[in-house]
Amino acid sequence: MKHMVKIVLALLVSVSMVSFAFAAGDLQNRTRDIGLFGGVLLPGTISIEDADVDTEMGFTLKAYFDQFVSSMFAVGVYGQYSATSTDTDPSYDVDTYEFGLSFKPKFMVSPTAALKPGLEIGYRKFSRESLAAGDTDTDGDGLAVNIAAELQFMLDNGYVLGLTFGFIAQPAGGTEDSDVTWAPIWYAMAGIVF
């Protein structure tokens, strides 16, 4: 239930950003994109040493800055926060923070719609809540390798609405005591680009 409240709050933030965004101009001839997104993190599996732990649905927030180095290719930076909990008894809350570089080509679907698939490579810091005194194995870090596809729509009022579907993955990383990796954990987000 507590994650449902977080999901609703993330979606409300995304919708409110649409109403406060600045006019974006022409979708095809942009020199930069600044995006603010919120959405849901779907259930997945985290591997801790030789054991697999399933996660429940959570939420995720992302902000990015893309600079177009040509009219159809952008290089940028991003930051993303994700929160979920484990599907175990007892359940643990897990938070991840990451930042890194992104590489995104842009394909015009129509004069008012564009597709921006992208690769993100960054540094991830994660932690789980500690349930016992002396529980020191709660923080770790890793290599973030994410792929996403963002569909942008130019609205009549000049705003750009973005819908993103992608995944976060961690092929390497862990804590001081154990390796922690995960295959793609999918997410879906909506937000505004200006």
Q: What is the pLDDT of residue 189?
A: 98
pLDDT, residue 10, reads 54
Domain housing 117:
2-193
- In the structure, what pLDDT confidence band is assigned to residue 132 with cuts at 50, 70 and 90? low
10-14, 29-33, 102-106, 165-169: segment of lowest average pLDDT: 10-14
pLDDT tens readout for residues 144-162: 999 999 999 998 877 899 9
Interatomic CA distance for residues 105 and 72, integer angstroms: 6
The CA–CA distances, whole Å, from 137 to 51, 116, 144, 151 equal 15, 38, 20, 39
DSSP codes, 5-53: HHHHHHHHHHHHHHHHPPP---STT-SEEEEEEEEEEPP-EEEETTEEE
Geometric angle at alpha carbon 11, from 59 and 183, rounded to 5° = 25
pLDDT tens digits for range 71-125: 899 999 999 999 999 888 788 898 999 999 999 999 999 999 999 999 999 999 9
> How many folded domains does the chain comprise?
1
Phi and psi angles of residue 6, each rounded to the nearest 5 degrees, phi first = -65, -40
Torsion angle of the four alpha carbons 3, 12, 152, 147, in this order, in degrees rounded to the nearest 10: -20
Give pLDDT, residue 16: 47
Mean pLDDT of 126-141: 69
Q: What CATH number should be reported for the domain holding residue 164?
A: 2.40.160.20
CA distances from 182 to 50, 52, 140, 145, 167 (A): 12, 9, 13, 10, 11
* Those residues with Cβ within 8 angstroms of residue 65's Cβ, 6 or more apart along the chain or in another chain: 32, 33, 34, 76, 77, 78
Q: What is the pTM of this model?
A: 0.82
| pLDDT exceeds 80 at position 135 | no
Mean pLDDT along residues 169-192: 92
